[in-house]
Amino acid sequence: LELGVPCFSIRVRSVPLAMGNCVTAPLYALSACLGSCCAAGCCKLACAGFVNSAKGARCLLLWLQVFAASTSLGFVLASPTWLEKPCSWLDSGLKLGSGPSAVGVCECFNATALAPQCLSDQMAYRIGAAAMLMYLFLLLLCVSGCARGAASSLPVLKFMALFLLVLAFLFVPNSLFSGFGFCASIVAAGFAIAQAILLVDFTLTWNDIWARAESSWRLGGVSAYRWGLLIFSLVFLVLGGVLVGHLCSAFSEGAWKAAPLTALGVSVLMLLLSITEWCQVGTLITSCAIILFAQWLTWEALAAGYRPSDGSVVSLGPPAWLDLTVGAAGLLALLAFGGSWRGDAAPSPVAVELASQAQRGSDSQSASSRDEESSDTTVPHTEANIDTWDFAMQCLVHSVAAAYVTSVLVWWV
């Protein structure tokens, strides 16, 4: 502060201002240092990791799905009403003057009574869209000739990119993601196709392992494994019959009742056909499992389109936890049996032994040449052993699974 007097001037220092500078200067330096360190650490973390096997690539895709689904489930169970204050700050910063409901997900606060449900829906839509976009981008890399790099490189960056996509989607209008939610409920039907394929693959493998297993314990001349296949087949058949009874009781109006009976008739006809000599690859347990799965799909379809004659809104579909359990079982089967999409036979033990001998010979020949090289030679990164077709199919199935999870969680709300 400077006071002007005719003969002299007096400069007065503001004590509070000087003390504020003393406090903020080290804080500013500390924040600059921490910011640069965090940025460097994030970059280092994003470039870390490498996947060198097909199973590892499948597990990475599954964990991405688990991360997205668990985050969506958290927002569904606890609506993010805490976004109201950040939305108010954003509105004040942009000087929009229309309250905390002007940008992106903040539009949910237009209707105060429906804000919690709107926020849960919109966050589930955004997370599902981010996961689906991530899988489709990896699929695009596969068909572009970059499958090995997409499957093996930068595993941590994939999780970071998913988080950043959700963060960016917070500023996108709700109407766009409401349209995505409608499309996701349609695309989710594609996951049922993948589930049916995986169910057939799982039961055929199960039947093959138990049919070929040698057991010394026999009951009445029949192997215990054979009895096990018969018992599990009967269990699937009984559960399918119970589900038919439930559907006929719940959807008892007009043509709705005919849907489960028609599905049962076609499934039983295919069962009788599969156990004949005309169908060489048919198995009893696979046919019985398909009977149960056909009724499950009928339940899903009827619940989506059923409207009572009195015009009331009722919820007769399967519980959300059961939907998620069936979806999780399908993804676990995808992890275990996803490598058999093309039905390639496994290499014989002789071929494996010959390949290992050739590898040992090449290693011994190259060992001497490596000794002659200079010490500063960089060893190239091990190439990932990943099947391009398998990884592409994994990305495709996981993309429709993300739509399936989104539709289930939003229906749950």
For 253, what's the count of Cα atoms within 13 Å in the CB-facing half-sphere?
8
What radius of gyration do the chain's Cα atoms show?
30
For 286, what's the count of Cα atoms within 13 Å in the CB-facing half-sphere?
21
Q: Who contacts 361 (Cβ-Cβ below 8 Å, separation ≥6)?
A: none
Q: How confident is the model at residue 12 (pLDDT cuts 50, 70, 90)?
A: very low
pLDDT tens-place string over residues 326-335:
989 988 888 8
Distances (CA, A) of 335 to 54, 107, 141, 366, 406: 10, 39, 21, 36, 20
The least confident of 87-96, 115-124, 289-298 is 87-96
Q: How confident is the model at residue 350 (pLDDT cuts 50, 70, 90)?
A: very low
Of 235, 244, 245, which is closest to residue 267 (Cα–Cα)?
A: 244
Q: Do residues 69 and 135 touch, judged by C-beta distance below 8 A?
A: no
| Average pLDDT over every residue of 104-130 | 83
Helix/strand/coil percent split, the chain, to 5: 75, 5, 25
**Helices marked H in 8-154:** 15-46, 54-77, 84-94, 115-143, 147-152
- Statement: residue 368 has pLDDT above 80: no
pLDDT at 343: 46
Q: Who contacts 10 (Cβ-Cβ below 8 Å, separation ≥6)?
A: 2, 3
Of 406, 34, 404, which is closest to residue 191 (Cα–Cα)?
A: 404
**Helices marked H in 213-283:** 224-250, 258-274
3-state secondary structure of 6: coil
pLDDT at 401: 93
pLDDT at 133: 94
Enter the tokens of residue 70: 């668990």
User: What percent of the chain lies above the pLDDT cut of 70?
Assistant: 67
Q: Who contacts 201 (Cβ-Cβ below 8 Å, separation ≥6)?
A: 333, 337, 340
| Average pLDDT over every residue of 96-113 | 66
Q: CB count, 10 Å around CB of 163?
A: 14
Of residues 381 and 230, the one with the higher pLDDT is 230
- Statement: residue 362 has pLDDT above 80: no
pLDDT at 274: 80
Distances (CA, A) of 56 to 63, 146, 225: 10, 17, 32
Enter the tokens of residue 339: 């490598």
Task: Give backbone dihedrals phi and psi of 170, rounded to 5 degrees, phi first.
Answer: -65, -25
